[in-house]
């Protein structure tokens, strides 16, 4: 059978269509032998290979053969069953990876927002267990500064003067600090700081409004609010704690493609998924 030919499989009643070359990624696997008519257990019925196995789990087998990467849904739990299927098909590199569940299971990501009001300014500090999430959030948040005549905190619109973007303070890879509001400068002039959070285009100066937009942004990004508390009553520091399931980065397989190779491979982390 030519590597260009199409192969149809019926696995547990679920139909799959693929190329022969995809099934031959691992030459010593049973699927490769099936294509070569070398495995008697796989019956060819009406032009389709009939396989009496779990069709739903075989979709992950096919995804692995097509991408050479193990990337499972965050709610996936059938690691042992999928490992057993991989062993049945003779895909031992995949079975070995599945035996290391800790590499594949999603992890809980924690993010904490601390907020405090002091006179006409609001202070924000965001901590995250995942540095890539903090990096992505820092790219969404911009602080603008400019001079403003004595309307202070309650001014709903930015000054007509040019606003200058300010870099966020980054004490570490896992946190960021910024503030908004106004502070007295000279005469009737105030230094104003506005906050913009993409994709929202508004520039907000009121701390409560910025907090609301920030929390809404996190909820839309898949976080779940799990607690609120007051850290110190004297300074009125409020703390909002969020969590979400962070999907494990895909594990890719490097396959030795030399003729007669067993397909024994070493796993490596894929970079296709970032921050989630």
pLDDT of residue 233: 63
Domain extents for the chain? 6-103, 108-151+159-246
pLDDT of residue 81: 93
Euclidean distance between CA atoms 206 and 185, whole angstroms: 18
**Same CATH topology for 6-103 and 108-151+159-246?**
no
Q: What is the pLDDT of residues 41-88, one digit of tens each?
A: 888 888 899 999 999 999 999 999 998 888 787 778 888 999 999 999
Q: What is the pLDDT of residues 128-151, one digit of tens each?
A: 998 989 999 999 999 999 876 655
Cβ atoms of 167 and 179 closer than 8 Å: no
pLDDT of residue 251: 56
pLDDT of residue 155: 52
pLDDT of residue 47: 86
CA angle 75, 78, 80 (to 5 degrees): 145
- CB atoms under 10 Å from CB of 186, counted, come to 8
- CB atoms under 10 Å from CB of 185, counted, come to 13
Cβ atoms of 104 and 165 closer than 8 Å: no
- Determine the topology of domain 108-151+159-246 in CATH: Gtp Cyclohydrolase I Feedback Regulatory Protein; Chain: K (3.30.1410)
Tokens linked to 161 = 């003067």
What pairs with residue 147 in β-bridges?
191
Cβ atoms of 66 and 7 closer than 8 Å: no
Euclidean distance between CA atoms 231 and 74, whole angstroms: 32
Tokens linked to 33 = 């032998």
Cβ atoms of 179 and 141 closer than 8 Å: no
Cβ atoms of 242 and 225 closer than 8 Å: yes
pLDDT of residue 26: 93
Instruction: Give average pLDDT by consecutive 10-residue segment, the chain, 276 residues.
Output: 74 94 92 85 86 94 91 82 95 88 75 91 94 93 82 50 87 94 73 93 94 96 92 80 75 49 44 38
φ, ψ of residue 69 in degrees (nearest 5): -140, 140
Euclidean distance between CA atoms 251 and 97, whole angstroms: 8
pLDDT of residue 162: 80
pLDDT of residue 264: 41
| CATH number corresponding to 6-103 | 3.30.710.10
Euclidean distance between CA atoms 106 and 247, whole angstroms: 4
């Amino acid at each position: 059978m030519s590597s260009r030919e199409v192969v149809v499989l019926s696995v547990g009643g679920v139909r799959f269509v693929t190329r022969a070359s995809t099934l031959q990624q691992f030459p010593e696997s049973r699927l490769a032998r099936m294509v070569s008519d070398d495995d008697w257990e796989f019956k060819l019925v009406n032009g389709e290979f009939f396989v009496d196995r779990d069709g739903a789990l075989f979709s992950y087998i096919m995804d692995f053969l097509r991408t050479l990467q193990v990337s499972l849904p965050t709610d996936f739990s059938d690691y042992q069953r999928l490992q057993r299927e991989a062993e049945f098909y003779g895909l031992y590199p995949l079975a070995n990876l599945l035996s290391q569940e800790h590499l594949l299971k999603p992890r809980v990501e924690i993010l904490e927002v601390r907020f405090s009001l002091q006179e006409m300014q609001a202070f924000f500090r965001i901590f995250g267990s995942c540095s890539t999430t903090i990096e992505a959030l820092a790219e969404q948040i911009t602080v603008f500064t400019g001079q403003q005549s004595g309307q202070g905190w309650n001014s709903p619109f930015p000054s007509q003067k040019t606003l200058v973007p300010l870099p966020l303070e980054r004490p570490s890879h896992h946190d960021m600090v910024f503030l908004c509001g106004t502070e007295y400068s000279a005469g009737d002039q105030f230094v104003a700081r506005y906050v913009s959070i993409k994709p929202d285009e508004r520039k907000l100066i009121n701390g409560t409004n910025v907090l609301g937009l920030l929390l809404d942004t996190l909820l839309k990004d898949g976080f779940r609010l799990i607690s609120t508390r007051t850290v110190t009553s004297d300074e009125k520091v409020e703390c909002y704690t969020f969590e979400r399931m962070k999907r494990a980065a895909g594990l890719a397989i490097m396959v030795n493609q030399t003729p007669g190779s067993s397909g024994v491979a070493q796993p490596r982390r894929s970079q296709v998924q970032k921050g989630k």
